[in-house]
Structure 1
């Protein structure tokens, strides 16, 4: 694991519980995330038994359709959350960017890990940067957020849907016989966590590509009433990242967006302040509204909401209505 490891607990500290069960999807990245949290827990609480319970979500089963057509972010969390509510698992580990802004009653995000590598990477076997891609190049991504921002700067690109886990997407790029992609776009954090950092040709600057809400951070979800479990994982929470996540998730909640709409938002700490930058774009990238706000960390949610209102008032509301009508027809 390449993330920072904690110091052990003081000698003689009593374990709050003997066993904790982590629910996780079975993809290699999801397993990396679960393993990472398991290692952190074992290091913090010597003697704690940490078990992993593998599950398959609807999002893992349906790979032949864009997320926008089949329900968005909740496709990767619903079954795991139900298992938690049913008492089959104690916690779930998610990529924060995969989590809907509304968490089911009875559950809560109880810790958010330190964010690392929030950006998006261009991966190609032939071209080293976005500028190097020839006119009409075929670029694969499953994200409308990425598609819209790419088309805003390169309207000539042919953006095609690409689903599957990181390994599957890389394999499709590398398929010499049937491959169609000149490049694909993936999260930097996922590539690095799986040891694919050498596949990164360029990290797209935030001036071109704002990330998804919470991209680069992990969320630990637990039952709201289960104080023992919540106390157990509290040390994993990174306050700076959590403040950024509050602003970003408040923005997303205000615009009622999700994985199925072209919205990017990125908060960064600056001493006791937060800078929050966001974008709302049309599906074809021709219209793009971008702005930022700065304020106190304590006002993170208010900052996110205020920025959302600014972009919606600037023209983003028309885009959101158009996208909603379009998705309803499909």
Structure 2
């Protein structure tokens, strides 16, 4: 067999890479997923219709997670040829357009597109990791005042997720149930979602669940709920900052403000406010080096390291090196 015959066909290779990128999105590694998806776009003509629609939909999802509405809108326009068709390609197209409409604050059009996604894939095997139209539609129905319909969709999504057995899908369904639940079980559903995600790589979903739970805890009059809410928000803040998910980060910081807690500056922000010398020192100390070890590594005095750290603490709004790794978030 020649070397060329041993290689997989271009379409099969691209499909495998698309599956990998999709897994990265579910894991919450949005930066890594974007790099892979943007690279795949150059050879997308080798994909079939469903693959091309899925690639575009994933790119829209990641851009929305980053708050890049202009690029998300540009990519969504490329999905126009798929929305009038049936099957998965149409399902991906409508779901992406629905997510974009939701991000733009148009809940009614979001619901229209998401329900159309459901109609497009009617009769096909259910994969709640692949298409999540029920979750988005339920949230949109809550915003438009259709609580009964939202609860029905959320319940159906949960049933399908449990039958499928995916921890990610079950946790997402529980989050949707919490949003659509008119009763008093919202906190319980979110705690269950957190338990389901334990040990699962799903950083973005976990941060969303934690932010939802913290928001509900802050509605309680119990003072004991405040420390738990802050702890949840700090973890979510760190993840959102590392992945540069600014819409989620903005929401988390509004909740922290309600707690009377200042925001931590994270990665991209640190890069803009710290000097190169401060970045080098803080990166080493955040990685666990002592002041003396950092000084030896950089061939400077311990006093210089202390001076740079003092300026870093002041700029980033932290009080000591104990909070540096969380607040700084930049690897050495």
Provide the TM-score with structure 2 as the length reference. 0.25
| More relative contact order, 1 or 2 (CA 8 Å, 6+ apart) | 1
> Which one has a larger percent strand, Structure 1 or Structure 2?
1
> Which one has a larger percent helix, Structure 1 or Structure 2?
2
Provide the TM-score with structure 1 as the length reference. 0.26
Q: Specify the structure having the higher radius of gyration (Cα).
A: 2
